Amino acid sequence: MTQVETAYAKLNLALHVRRRRDDGYHELETLFAFVDAGDRLTARTAEQDKVSVAGEFAPALGSPFGNLVSRALGALPRPDGMAITLEKNIPVAAGLGGGSADAGAVFRLVRERHGLPEDWPARAVRLGADVPACVESQPCIGRGTGAELSPVANDLSGSPVLLVNPREPLATSAVFARWDGVDRGALPAGKMRDVARGGRNDLEPAAIALCPPVADVLASLRATDAWLVRMSGSGATCFALFDDPAERDAAAASIAAAHPRWWMLAGALR
């Protein structure tokens, strides 16, 4: 049996950091969204679990035994093994939830074969706070550390989106450590477009201080016809949302010509 699954790139259309908790984590409010593209996982039945990695960003992962695909396989009981090839198309340490998206894709592969145990959300969150959201890869609101999920009315499905990364990795822990500690208020209510428009990313200043090219990416995206430009997660990837695919494609062509080294992905929101 061979299965193919996309690990959909995760975006934080808004990310509000409310406070630093006593356990060292941060209290968050975020609007999760997912792009219709990402890493690609191919799974085959095997006598024992095996993970191999290919693709442009494979070298950044190091040993396959420590990545979230291997850990997700180990977290789920199954009667047989799975040999998974991970095609790593999304930059690592980029604010796109790449590892969490990969783990979410493993959960979907196992669900299709065998179903998931009732306690799968608890198993998922032990792999990472945003893994539960990545299992379904549908828009939602995340609170707490990002694992407390609630639905949101999706009026942005199919919206053209452009992702741009300056090919500079950013460690999540370093960005959170640089956050200024100011609570700027709660995530607004409403449908996705309203929440995205009224929201913000409280980590942008910290990310720019650690990685100045983030500011250049944001400036380039803001010079387009996008109706929303923001950094995703802890960076360094930034995104722009458009009302028309032609506007997105024109922006992609212009930015690629001016910054040929930058990584880009043109897609649509799920």
pLDDT in tens, 217-264: 999 999 999 999 999 999 999 999 999 999 999 999 999 999 999 999
* Closest CA relative to residue 34, chosen from 103, 108, 134: 134
Among the listed residues 10, 39, 102, 202, the single catalytic one is: 10
Q: The whole model's pTM is what?
A: 0.95
* Closest CA relative to residue 90, chosen from 68, 75, 107, 110: 68
* Residue-range domains of the chain with CATH: 2-151 (3.30.230.10), 160-268 (3.30.70.890)
pLDDT in tens, 10-23: 999 999 999 888 77
Residue 10 appears among annotated catalytic residues = yes
Residue 130 appears among annotated catalytic residues = yes
Among the listed residues 39, 102, 130, 202, the single catalytic one is: 130
Q: Are 132 and 125 within 8 A, CB to CB?
A: yes
